[in-house]
Amino acid sequence: MNRNPQLNAHGELQHLITLEGLSREILQGILDTAEPFAEVAEREVKKVPLLRGKSVFNLFFENSTRTRTTFEIAAKRLSADVINLNINTSSASKGESLLDTVDNLAAMQADMFVVRHASSGAPYLIAQHLAATGREHIHVVNAGDGRHAHPTQGLLDMYTIRHYKKDFTRLTVAVVGDVLHSRVARSQIHALRTLGVPEIRVIAPRTLLPSGVADMGVRVFQDMKEGLKGVDVVMMLRLQNERMQGALLPSPQEYFKYYGLTPDKLRLAKPDAIVMHPGPMNRGIEIDSAVADGSHSVILPQVTFGIAVRMAVMSMLAGS
């Protein structure tokens, strides 16, 4: 029996639910597979036939224009048939259970579900259900679940770092902001550790740090200026206001003063440091426009690379 439920009997990716527990070889394999797909974007005809005849269902129980759009573009560039379902406005709002929805869509000859859900563990539940009902040939990709994980965002961030910095084993990387509510941060930290980054720093106010964060193998800083000294990569996080219960921050202005990335604070990092952000950005709260649009920013290339990485993941799953 597989130790990791994401792998099939041959040790190949069957689902992508989380980066936790995946080997360095698998992560590097995904990044390597994404390389030629990044070149497809430069062609006049941006399609390859790898998923021709396959049906990919985007099941978004939670809104996300950017993630849904990049998954849709990725699937279409692989020549798949793509069906977008905004479940908030359909069956779930009529009282149908998550697994009833999955059963009905599986009956429509689905080959892959791309799932975004507000509840942690929902994509794993779907994958378990498909296996229990003899439909393990349907692949599940987690497009973000609750506070748990956002594996393709973590992978596209790793692809971006590798593109600009080449060697993970020489880097100091800072993850800055709302770590408490961020599924992206968890995926980033797991991937950075697995790929051999020697120093990962987490910079956040105490109220936005999860308990036990130091157990994840990171150095914790509450002083942003101290935490940014000499870093190679600055990974900013979005303030997840919609997930915050109670007053975790005095005010957006106060947050920007201490934890917003400004040109002055960025000067403490290495001169060739890159700045990343998963988007959407809250300018003037998490990041100054001069930084977001400046020469250190690789925020727009991240989006472009995201399509190639999602193509890589879907093509590998379909081939397993």
> What's the CA gap between 266 and 275, in Å, rounded?
9
Is 66 labelled as part of a ligand binding site? yes
Is 183 labelled as part of a ligand binding site? yes
Is 53 labelled as part of a ligand binding site? no
Is 201 labelled as part of a ligand binding site? no
> pLDDT digit of tens for each residue in the chain (320 aa)?
346 889 998 899 999 999 999 999 999 999 999 999 999 888 888 899 999 999 999 999 888 888 999 999 999 999 999 999 877 655 555 557 889 999 999 999 999 999 999 899 999 999 999 999 999 899 999 999 988 999 999 999 999 999 999 999 999 999 999 999 899 999 999 999 999 999 999 999 999 999 888 899 999 999 999 999 999 999 999 987 654 444 567 788 889 999 999 999 999 999 999 999 999 999 999 999 999 999 999 999 999 999 999 999 999 999 87
Fold of domain 151-297: Rossmann fold (3.40.50)
For 270, residues 6+ apart whose C-beta sits below 8 A from its C-beta are: 230, 231, 232
CA 159 to the chain's CA centroid: 11
| Extents of the domains making up the chain | 24-150+304-318, 151-297
For 24-150+304-318, CATH gives 3.40.50.1370
Is 279 labelled as part of a ligand binding site? yes
Establish whether domains 24-150+304-318 and 151-297 are of one fold.
Answer: yes
Is 280 labelled as part of a ligand binding site? yes
